[in-house]
């Protein structure tokens, strides 16, 4: 019996290891295939050189957007691998699925409404409905499998924003490449690419992220314990409808109206909305700082952190100076240990702010406390030996 039980345990362990390795590898292969298909289709339609130009031009707005999102996420940084996968989902999988659905909707619309009818249906109805739903998939996936990663509205903004940034990157590559291809070489090429870049890279680099961030805010609010019953589950639905409506309005202004209509929608609706979301982001970022700073004194009283570390942990600039000092005096490993300690303390502060009531939350609390103590011990040891 003991031998059989041992065999079963080994089989389960091996199966767990297989799944742990196979699932991520399969997912990455699927994402890579989708990316190759998307860029292959764009290359066939526009040509290799226009695609290269499109990629170079698209790097600028996506760099601005991702840098802004990383700035927002400085207090409690999300795992880099999750952000990368979220971006790749938007850039590869979401764009391919949206392309297939929108082309189908366009064909059906052309058949039912005649020429150009399908294009309007795909642009104003199909694209907003489908694209916003597909871009939100990583947000829901992280919420489903790693709910502990959601500590507030900022997390929803960051995940939704990265997925939308990936989607916008691939879409910009297509539009920039098409502009290059249509204009040809010479002055026309310069003016065509410049016009496309001004519209999509200067005036609206945050358009797709803005639509998705509205959904991210609703999903993040659903996680918080202050909402109960039907209201809790209506939040993501209402936010999805809001994101879709904004996306549809944006597309309608760009395709149905003239330049004046587009500018009116841009300056009267989109720009104020973007400013409003920006203010929410700043407010939530300051809230995160207050949550951490408010939890530190109690942690010091319990002996989890040193009293002298409260000021060092309550300010981002002080944290950064602490890591730099550790790197300068004891090396990169010591700086990494200090960073791990800061991250564990931050996660612990957010968890205590939400409340520790379930067995899973208590287990998470113990794990974070152990991580913080271990990271601090590593940092102290490296400082002594360094």
Q: What is the pLDDT of residues 287-303, one digit of tens each?
A: 889 999 999 999 999 99
pLDDT of res. 186: 53
Of the listed ranges 99-113, 223-237, 309-323, the one predicted with least confidence:
223-237
The tens digit of pLDDT for each residue in 350-383 reads: 888 888 888 888 888 999 999 999 999 998 888 8
Give the residue extent of every domain in the chain.
2-256, 290-385
Q: Give the whole-angstrom CA distance, residue 108 versus residue 46.
A: 24
> 27 CB contacts (<8 Å, ≥6 apart)?
85
Residue 41's pLDDT band (boundaries 50, 70, 90)?
confident
pLDDT of res. 188: 45
Of the listed ranges 124-128, 133-137, 150-154, 245-249, the one predicted with least confidence:
150-154
pLDDT of res. 32: 80
Which one is predicted more confidently, 223 or 211? 211
Of the listed ranges 99-113, 191-205, 280-294, 298-312, the one predicted with least confidence:
191-205
The answer, yes or no, to whether residue 81 has pLDDT greater than 70, is yes
- Helices (H), ranges, the chain: 2-46, 48-72, 80-88, 95-113, 117-121, 127-135, 137-145, 153-183, 187-197, 207-223, 229-255, 259-265, 271-301, 310-313, 316-330, 332-354, 359-385
- For 173-239, the three-class secondary structure string (H helix, E strand, C coil) is HHHHHHHHHHHCCCHHHHHHHHHHHHHHHHHCCCHHHHHHHHHHHHHHHHHCCCCCHHHHHHHHHHH
**DSSP secondary structure string, 144-173?**
HH-GGG--SHHHHHHHHHHHHHHHHHHHHH
On average, the pLDDT of the chain sits at 84
Q: What's the average model confidence in pLDDT over 18-26? A: 61
Residue burial 150-162, b: 16+ Cβ < 10 Å; e: rest: bbbbbbbbbbbbb
pLDDT of res. 47: 80
The answer, yes or no, to whether residue 84 has pLDDT greater than 70, is yes
pLDDT of res. 1: 47
Residue 320's pLDDT band (boundaries 50, 70, 90)?
very high
The answer, yes or no, to whether residue 7 has pLDDT greater than 50, is no
The answer, yes or no, to whether residue 244 has pLDDT greater than 50, is yes
- CA–CA distance from 114 to each of 111, 127, 234 (Å)? 6, 19, 38
Q: Give the whole-angstrom CA distance, residue 267 versus residue 279.
A: 17
The answer, yes or no, to whether residue 227 has pLDDT greater than 70, is no
Q: What's the average model confidence in pLDDT over 46-53? A: 83
Nearest CA among 202, 194, 218, 327 for reference residue 266: 202
The answer, yes or no, to whether residue 189 has pLDDT greater than 70, is no
- pLDDT > 90 in the chain, percent: 37
Q: Is the pTM of this model over 0.95?
A: no
């Amino acid at each position: 019996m003991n031998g059989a039980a041992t065999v079963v345990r080994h089989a389960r362990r091996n199966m767990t290891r297989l799944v742990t390795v196979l699932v991520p590898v399969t997912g990455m292969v699927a994402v890579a295939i989708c990316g190759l298909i998307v860029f292959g289709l764009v290359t066939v339609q526009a040509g290799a050189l226009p695609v290269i130009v499109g990629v170079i031009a698209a790097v600028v707005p996506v760099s601005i957007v991702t840098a802004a999102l990383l700035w927002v996420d400085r207090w409690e940084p999300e795992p880099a691998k999750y952000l990368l996968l979220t971006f790749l989902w938007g850039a590869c999988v979401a764009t391919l699925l949206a392309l297939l659905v929108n082309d189908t909707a366009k064909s059906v619309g052309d058949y039912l409404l005649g020429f150009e009818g399908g294009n309007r249906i795909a642009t104003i109805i199909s694209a907003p409905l489908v694209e916003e739903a597909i871009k939100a998939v990583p947000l829901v996936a992280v919420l489903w499998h790693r709910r502990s990663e959601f500590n507030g509205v900022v997390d929803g903004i960051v995940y939704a924003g990265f997925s939308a940034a990936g989607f916008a990157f691939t879409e910009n590559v297509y539009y920039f490449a098409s502009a290059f291809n249509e204009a040809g070489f010479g002055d026309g090429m310069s003016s065509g690419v410049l016009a496309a870049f001004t519209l999509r890279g200067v005036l609206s680099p945050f358009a797709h992220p803005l639509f998705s961030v509205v959904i991210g805010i609703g999903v993040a609010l659903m996680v918080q314990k202050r909402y109960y019953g039907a209201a809790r589950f209506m939040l993501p639905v209402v936010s999805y409808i809001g994101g879709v409506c904004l996306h549809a309005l944006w597309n309608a202004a760009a395709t149905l109206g003239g330049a004046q209509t587009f500018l009116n929608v841009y300056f009267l609706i989109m720009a104020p909305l973007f400013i409003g979301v920006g203010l929410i982001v700043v407010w939530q970022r300051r809230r995160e700082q207050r949550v951490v700073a408010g939890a530190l004194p109690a942690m010091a009283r319990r002996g989890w952190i040193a009293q002298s570390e409260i000021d060092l942990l309550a300010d981002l600039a002080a944290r950064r100076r602490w890591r730099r000092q550790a790197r300068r005096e004891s090396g990169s490993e010591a700086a990494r240990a200090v960073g791990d300690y800061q991250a564990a303390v931050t996660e612990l502060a957010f968890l205590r702010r939400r409340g520790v009531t379930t067995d899973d939350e208590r287990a998470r609390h113990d794990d974070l406390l152990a991580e913080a103590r271990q990271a601090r011990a590593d940092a102290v040891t490296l400082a002594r030996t360094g």
